[in-house]
Amino acid sequence: MSVAKMHQDKHKSRLFSAGEQERQVYFIGDGAMHVYVTGYSGRNVTLYRVERGELCPINLRAAMSKEGALANAEGVDGFIAATMGVADFKALVANHADFRTFVFESITSRFEDVIQQVAEITTRSVDYRIERYFETHLGKTDGAGVLHVTNEDIATEIGATREVVNRKLKVLEQAGIVELGRGRIRSRAADKRRRIK
């Protein structure tokens, strides 16, 4: 098993693109794999994130078949992964029941993520999705309570346009709920935030 180290600071590392055939399976050691699709308009929409100790079904499909990847993937948040060739991966699956269970659970979990993302985009307001974004990323703030993220990152993850996210965040800033900076957002009054259904 070979190790591919991709340290992330401010930049992201492309792992594979839609249409490419992948010949290795990634095992996430640190950071995350951000998996997304790009629409005809050029707008990116997140499908899911693969965290430490998880597998990516789209990566598996591209590696195990002769078909290209169905989406794009990039390493984020200090991404470090071990990679395994297809032959070794197939041998593990064939010979170890526990590993087969792990693969199945990884695929099931990511499938649930995609269904939830589609449901949120189609049934929830942008306000609600921004609120959910902050709730799920609270653990990623620095010591000063700052979340290092761009409006484009938020838009991609919640399935909205950057312009809409810009407007919504400005409203939150005017209400004294957040403080906006270039590539950073600081919560000024978390108790003021309310979930909008």
Q: Residues 3-51: pLDDT tens digits?
A: 444 444 445 688 999 998 888 999 998 889 999 988 777 788 888 889 8
C-alpha 134/C-alpha 147 separation (Å) is 9
Q: Are residues 29 and 85 in the same domain?
A: yes
C-alpha 31/C-alpha 10 separation (Å) is 13
Q: Are residues 140 and 173 in the same domain?
A: yes
Q: In sequence order, which ranges of 28-179 are alpha helices (DSSP H)? A: 57-64, 86-95, 97-123, 126-136, 151-158, 162-174
Judged against a pLDDT cut of 90, whether residue 126 lies above it is answered with: no
Residue 163, number of CB atoms within 10 A of its CB: 10
pTM confidence score = 0.63
Amino acid at 155: A
Q: Best-predicted range by mean pLDDT among 47-56, 143-152, 159-168?
A: 47-56
C-alpha 155/C-alpha 161 separation (Å) is 5
Q: Are residues 118 and 132 in the same domain?
A: no
The overall average pLDDT reported for the chain is 81
Count structural domains, the chain. 2
In a domain, 76, yes or no: yes
End-of-domain residue from the set 77, 106, 123: 123
In a domain, 16, yes or no: yes
Question: How much is the pLDDT for 197?
Answer: 42
In a domain, 97, yes or no: yes
What pLDDT, in 10s, does the model give residues 159-196?
A: 788 888 888 888 888 888 788 888 888 876 554 544 44
CATH of the domain at 33: 2.60.120.10
Q: What is the DSSP string of 75-118?
A: EEEEEEEEEEEHHHHHHHHHH-HHHHHHHHHHHHHHHHHHHHHH
End-of-domain residue from the set 123, 149, 183: 123
CATH of the domain at 153: 1.10.10.10
Q: Are residues 56 and 26 in the same domain?
A: yes
Which residue, among 40, 37, 36, has the nearest Cα to 76 in the 3D structure? 36
In a domain, 104, yes or no: yes
In a domain, 90, yes or no: yes
Q: Are residues 94 and 176 in the same domain?
A: no
Q: Is 136 exposed, middle or buried, given 0-12, 13-18 or 19+ CB atoms closer than 10 A?
A: exposed
In a domain, 92, yes or no: yes
Question: How much is the pLDDT for 92?
Answer: 92
Q: Are residues 36 and 131 in the same domain?
A: no
Parent domain of 72: 2-123
In a domain, 197, yes or no: no
Alpha-carbon distances of 136 from 17, 32, 97, 130, 142, rounded to whole Å: 26, 14, 33, 10, 15
Comparison of pLDDT for 44 and 117, the residue scoring more: 44
Q: Are residues 131 and 101 in the same domain?
A: no
Mean pLDDT of 62-88: 89
User: What are the beta bridge partners of residue 157?
Assistant: none
